[in-house]
A and B are shown apart, each in its own frame.
Chain A
Amino acid sequence: MKKVLMSVAVGAAFVMAAGSASAQTLNQVKSRGVLQCGSNTGLAGFGQPDAQGNWTGLDVDYCRAVAAAIFNDATKVKFVPLSAKDRFTALQSGEVDVLVRNTTWTMSRDTQLGLEFGPVNYYDGQGFMVRKKLKIASAMELSGASVCTQQGTTTELNLADFFRANKLKYEVVAFASSDETIKAYDAGRCDVFTTDASGLYAERLKLTAPDDHIVLPEIISKEPLGAAWRHGDNQWGDIVKWTHYAMVTAEELGVTKANVDEMLKSTNPDVKRLLGTEGKFGEAIGLTNDWAYRIIKHVGNYGESFDKNVGAGSRLKIARGVNALWSKGGLQYAPPIR
């Protein structure tokens, strides 16, 4: 009996998941009048409530951009804070329409969870932080160093791989929580602190003298963070994908929140196609032709969002690095709108 019940339950779960995938997400969102976006429960620079309780951050801006494209109103988003454990179930079950929650795009997640991963809005990866006075310029000089890291994370495994591959000696000092780890590093228990690069900049602010520490240029793992949606609804996928591409294209063409109204008069064919003054690209994905104009008007281009939330204009001061445009040596590349 128990077995029968169990299989019925599991079967029902799959039917539901499959049922929700084929449903028209865009129509649901439109009739609901609000986009449900799976967000972080609090990550510096990516998804973080401010003093008034408004969500801010790079991932948050992505959600707002999707809402702006659909509703011409960037506030029509309901942020559903999800823990790392229940983020995928929430997406599968239809509790959220899109998941933008610093989720690493991996093959198993892409192929086995009934999910689709989209453009990468932040290329993260594991990095190192050291004291300036050690005068180390590269991770290759770290032989013999003691490294503070958090226990039982992939960080620890990446670390082992990196040092072994480069035949460097090292010693791990592992701690249970990130708070303990950064405290130990601050107290001088180890020479190097390692975690994902975006986290390094956030943790650095907790040090007694943040300016005495530098982040080394080497990134030793690939953590592409992007948006995810349910498998099977390609129209919805197009909207999520092209929202990011529109923001990147806008940066490339120099279209900003401030000058977007002027740009409507531009004669540059690329700008005209982006802002919908030429062609019917918006209608092709089920939106209006000024979809990209709305995104830029309400949220801004990718560079503006990056700068405001995690880059030079924020306290994190993360360098653009691999997240720069392809034309500036980075990986952010949008297919042409034509």
Chain B
Amino acid sequence: MKSQVVSPASKVYVRQEAAPVLPPPGSLIGPLAWVRDNLFSSPGNILLTVVAAALAYISIPGFLNFLFFDAVWSGADREACIAKNGILPGACWAFVRDRFSFFIYGFYPVDERWRVDLFFVLGTIGVAWMLWLKAPRRDIGMIYFLIVLPVVSYYLLGGASWLGLPAVDTARWGGLMVTLVVAGVGIVASLPLGILLALGRRSRLPVVKFFSVLFIEFVRGVPLITVLFMANTMLPLFLPDNITVDKLLRALVGIGLFASAYMAEVVRAGLQALPKGQYEGAMAMGLGYWQMMRLIILPQALKVTIPNIVNTYIGLFKDTSLLLIVGIFDFLKAIETARIDPQWAAPTTSPTGYAFAAIVYFMFCYGMASYARAMERRLSVADKR
């Protein structure tokens, strides 16, 4: 009898490889399951989903039709955007195209507008240098952004006879340029001033503390409109005849001080959120007051307040539109003025102008918010162990 060589495998059931992983049942994956989990998981959610879908169905097609499909993209005047055969076209983008340069530059002389363009380029470089974390020599970027850029912009936009740049009165500034100048100055000035005021408010020196509290509470207790009115209508009455403070400068100072009072409270919240041990630790290391603040306290305090700081910035950016009530032609005012021009007056002109304003404001504000979110994620790495 021949002995049989039997491989163990044939005799005993030994699994040599892992069983193939079966896909989860169809009811748990795929778009259908996602929809069920996220949109129809409970009666409440079902209701919300249905209502939201109905709203979207009602509003979105009309919105898209107005903004894109029925819109008028080119034309020379209102004839392009008026009703034809009794049917009203959608958004009058031809109007925005025609007045685009007015929205950006306002009354800035046409021959000098390259200076504004250069200002935009320099500003973009500065912002990118500051915000892009891997950029080389960010210390120089800081000096560029906080010192070089403001000085250069001042002469570039206002004019400098020694450089051969004709003076352009600020009454001729306007449009998006003014919005960015005012918001930029407010943003750049309010953080350092706000930090100083916040430190002042928590100072042990009674006089410093008193004036910080006085300033913050006074400014916070007054609406921005009032501040602008004060700066615009009251101030000239008190100044002698031959001294006129520039209208835009008055508004800039008003907005800068206003924003720093709010910023002070935001920073103070951050300072108070830090445990006392941080202060004591720093003092135990033998650090002086300013060293302690610069090296230990502020980096942590500012980190926790990033969402609030950006919130204040976004609010400030949008508050610049209040300038229109004191007769400064910011971006929104430029649109407001252009939309009533008889050359373009048509039923859809105003909605188009406002839609354009909304898009531009959204781009800037969403940009700020997104950057802040990314920043927060990066800085919170330390908190996640």
Residues of A within 8 A of B (CB): 9, 12-13, 16-17, 19-20, 23, 41-45, 48-55, 78-83, 85-86, 89-90, 92-95, 179, 183, 186, 202, 205-210, 314-316
Q: Which residue from B234, B325, B327, B342 sits with its C-beta under 8 Å from A80?
A: B327
B342:A16 contact, CB within 8 angstroms: no
Q: Given the interface contacts A92-B237, A179-B350, does A316 sit within 8 Å of B342 by beta carbon? A: yes
B171:A80 contact, CB within 8 angstroms: yes
Q: Which residue from A79, A210, A315 sits with its C-beta under 8 Å from B343?
A: A315
Looking at B23-31, B34-42, B103-111, the stretch in contact with chain A turns out to be: B103-111
Give me 13 other A-B pairs in contact (C-beta within 8 A), A16-B237, A83-B327, A93-B239 excluded: A41-B329, A42-B336, A48-B341, A52-B102, A83-B325, A85-B233, A93-B236, A94-B241, A95-B236, A206-B346, A208-B83, A208-B86, A209-B83
Q: Which residue from B101, B107, B345 sits with its C-beta under 8 Å from A206?
A: B345
B337:A13 contact, CB within 8 angstroms: no
B337:A48 contact, CB within 8 angstroms: yes
Closest to B329 in A: A81
Near A by CB (< 8 A), chain B positions 215-238 give 229, 232-234, 236-238
B238:A9 contact, CB within 8 angstroms: yes
Asked whether B174 is an interface residue with its Cβ less than 8 Å from the other chain, the reply is yes
A44:B327 contact, CB within 8 angstroms: no
Complex Cα gap A45–B342 (Å): 7
Please name all residues of chain B whose beta carbon is closer than 8 Å to the beta carbon of A54 when the two chains form the complex. 107
B-side interface size class: 35 or more
Complex Cα gap A153–B61 (Å): 38
Please name all residues of chain A whose beta carbon is closer than 8 Å to the beta carbon of B99 when the two chains form the complex. 51
Complex Cα gap A219–B343 (Å): 26
Complex Cα gap A334–B83 (Å): 43
B88:A12 contact, CB within 8 angstroms: no
B237:A78 contact, CB within 8 angstroms: no
Please name all residues of chain B whose beta carbon is closer than 8 Å to the beta carbon of A43 when the two chains form the complex. 340
A12:B232 contact, CB within 8 angstroms: no
A19:B78 contact, CB within 8 angstroms: no
Q: Which residue from A9, A41, A51, A316 sits with its C-beta under 8 Å from B327?
A: A41
A238 to chain B, nearest CB (A): 21
Query: A45, A48, A53, A314 — which one has the most chain B CB atoms within 10 A of its CB?
Result: A53
B341:A44 contact, CB within 8 angstroms: yes
Across the A-B interface, how many residue pairs have beta carbons closer than 8 Å? 124
Q: Given the interface contacts A41-B327, A44-B345, does A51 sit within 8 Å of B101 by beta carbon? A: yes
B105:A53 contact, CB within 8 angstroms: yes
Q: Which residue from B78, B110, B238, B345 sits with its C-beta under 8 Å from A13?
A: B238
Complex Cα gap A78–B88 (Å): 40
9 contacts between A and B (CB under 8 A): A16-B238, A41-B327, A45-B342, A48-B337, A49-B338, A85-B229, A86-B232, A94-B244, A179-B350
Please name all residues of chain B whose beta carbon is closer than 8 Å to the beta carbon of A209 when the two chains form the complex. 83, 86
A78:B83 contact, CB within 8 angstroms: no
Please name all residues of chain B whose beta carbon is closer than 8 Å to the beta carbon of A314 when the two chains form the complex. 342
Please name all residues of chain B whose beta carbon is closer than 8 Å to the beta carbon of A205 when the two chains form the complex. 78, 342, 345-346
A24 to chain B, nearest CB (A): 11
Query: B107, B171, B340 — which one has the most chain A CB atoms within 10 A of its CB?
Result: B340
Please name all residues of chain A whose beta carbon is closer than 8 Å to the beta carbon of B340 when the two chains form the complex. 42-44, 48, 202
Interface flags for B73-95 (1: CB within 8 Å of A; 0: not) read: 00000100011001010000000
Asked whether B349 is an interface residue with its Cβ less than 8 Å from the other chain, the reply is yes
Please name all residues of chain B whose beta carbon is closer than 8 Å to the beta carbon of A93 when the two chains form the complex. 236-237, 239
A51:B342 contact, CB within 8 angstroms: no
B244 to chain A, nearest CB (A): 6
Complex Cα gap A44–B336 (Å): 12
B102 to chain A, nearest CB (A): 5
Please name all residues of chain A whose beta carbon is closer than 8 Å to the beta carbon of B247 when the two chains form the complex. 80
Q: Given the interface contacts A42-B336, A49-B338, A94-B241, does A186 sit within 8 Å of B347 by beta carbon? A: yes
Please name all residues of chain B whose beta carbon is closer than 8 Å to the beta carbon of A51 when the two chains form the complex. 98-99, 101-102
Closest to B325 in A: A83
A280 to chain B, nearest CB (A): 31
Complex Cα gap A103–B324 (Å): 19
Query: B83, B107, B174, B341 — which one has the most chain A CB atoms within 10 A of its CB?
Result: B341
B241:A23 contact, CB within 8 angstroms: yes
Please name all residues of chain B whose beta carbon is closer than 8 Å to the beta carbon of A202 when the two chains form the complex. 340, 342, 345
Please name all residues of chain A whose beta carbon is closer than 8 Å to the beta carbon of B236 when the two chains form the complex. 89-90, 93-95
Please name all residues of chain A whose beta carbon is closer than 8 Å to the beta carbon of B336 when the two chains form the complex. 42
Please name all residues of chain B whose beta carbon is closer than 8 Å to the beta carbon of A208 when the two chains form the complex. 82-83, 86, 88, 347
Q: Given the interface contacts A179-B350, A314-B342, does A78 sit within 8 Å of B337 by beta carbon? A: no
